[in-house]
Amino acid sequence: MQLVQTPVIPIVGDLVRCTPGAISLGQGVVHYGPPPAALAAAQAFGADPQDHKYKPVEGIAELVQLIADKVSHENGIDLAGRSIVVTAGANMGFFNSLLAIADTGDEIILPTPYYFNHEMAIAMLGCRPVLAPTTADYQLNLDALRAAITPRTRAIVTISPNNPSGAVYSREALVAVNRLCRDHGLYHISDEAYEYFAYDGAEHFSPGSLPDSHEYTISLYSFSKAYGFASWRIGYAVIPSHLLVATKKEQDTILICPPVISQVAACAALRAGSHYCLPRIAGFTPVRETVRQELAAVEPFCHVSNTAGALYFLLTVDTELEDMTLVTRLVKEFGVAVLPGSTFGINNPCTLRLSFGGLDAESVAVGVGRLVQGLKAIIGH
């Protein structure tokens, strides 16, 4: 555990709490909450004494069925040969997957930049993350992925729309990765937590919808982002059925069952459906444009990623400063927080991740204004 990186979000969060008035553009959350029906369902929970007892390890039947309907209709996934497991967030789905498919010393391929909790989970289990660079615009590099495969490789991980880059991978690229996994006897772990967060005409694609992909494709989803459920800790995984016994062993040991009150609320959320999420996500479009316009002022010394998904921009800064040094100064001197790129595996050049999702539009604009002011003053261009 000493070799596993320390999560940076709590560190930056402490900096923000110690800096009165600081605005955080760090953590990737949305500013809105769950559907009203979900809150009402949670408030009604507990009247039945059975509510307070353990429920099935893989999730309550009502929620599993609602998820089955959703992934069939929205994601195009044929559930023959697949099983659904409700988890305490998509992170748990990822950890469960690794426990089920990999042994100590096995390798998991991560396109870089990676989501830091994925890299941490791989390290915790005694496996080895093998890093495969993406292209200049953070798209998948199939040659790099292919070259990273060794006899110890167990899976390739993709996140689309991507955290931290905001890239949305094309259908063609994800099909190619899925076929690469099939041909080499690997699992394709597809993290789709940001499935609804696509802009500028970009479209999300689920590799699990491909014919005959059920034996080796693991699809991970979350209520945390689109439904505003971050603190409720609820997500789900669509896994090959041959992994169900192992996954239930893991879940029963770590969790027993996902929090039932959260599952009940999630049922109500799925009944509200994407009709609740999509208009709110559409509201991020003008916020993204405001951020891009404001960041144009630092373009001479700061490259801003031109990506079309999730809640993020990556800023590559022309400076010799270490990213965490720059992050600390931005918080303490200018009252704005972003995350250092090194936590996502970007060690050179200095890179920052900006999230525009967690605050209202006016606060985001103020925060980006402070960021621009701080970068101009600190970098000195």
Query: Does the structural domain 8-33+280-379 have CATH classification 3.90.1150.10?
Result: yes
Spell 240-273 as b/e; 16+ CB within 10 A means b: beebbeebbebbeeebebbbbbbbbbbbbbbeeb
Provide φ and ψ at 277, rounded to 5°.
-75, -45
Question: Using CA atoms, how far apart are residues 7 and 10, in angstroms rounded to an integer?
Answer: 7
- Could you tell me which residues come within 8 angstroms of residue 203 by beta carbon, excluding any fewer than 6 positions away? 168, 171
Segments of the chain scoring below 50 in pLDDT: none
Question: Using CA atoms, how far apart are residues 82 and 272, in angstroms rounded to an integer?
Answer: 25
The model's pTM: 0.96
What separation in angstroms does the CA of 216 have from each of 151, 168, 183, 188, 192?
A: 17, 22, 11, 6, 16
Q: Where are the domains of the chain?
A: 8-33+280-379, 36-272
Per-residue confidence (pLDDT) for residue 381, from 0 to 100 = 62
Per-residue confidence (pLDDT) for residue 380, from 0 to 100 = 74
Provide φ and ψ at 319, rounded to 5°.
-155, 155
Question: Using CA atoms, how far apart are residues 128 and 109, in angstroms rounded to an integer?
Answer: 9
Reported as type and span, the H/E element at residue 122 is helix 116-124
Given the structure tokens 């600390």, which residue do they identify? 328
CATH number of 36-272, picked from 3.20.110.20, 2.30.110.10, 3.40.50.300, 3.40.640.10: 3.40.640.10
Per-residue confidence (pLDDT) for residue 229, from 0 to 100 = 97
Question: Using CA atoms, how far apart are residues 41 and 264, in angstroms rounded to an integer?
Answer: 6
- How does strand 217-222 pair with strand 235-240? antiparallel
Q: Could you tell me if 16 and 337 are in contact, meaning their C-beta atoms sit under 8 angstroms apart? A: yes
Per-residue confidence (pLDDT) for residue 347, from 0 to 100 = 86
Q: Could you tell me if 278 and 47 are in contact, meaning their C-beta atoms sit under 8 angstroms apart? A: no
Q: What is the pLDDT of residues 275-327, one digit of tens each?
A: 999 999 999 999 999 999 999 999 989 999 888 999 999 999 999 999 999 99
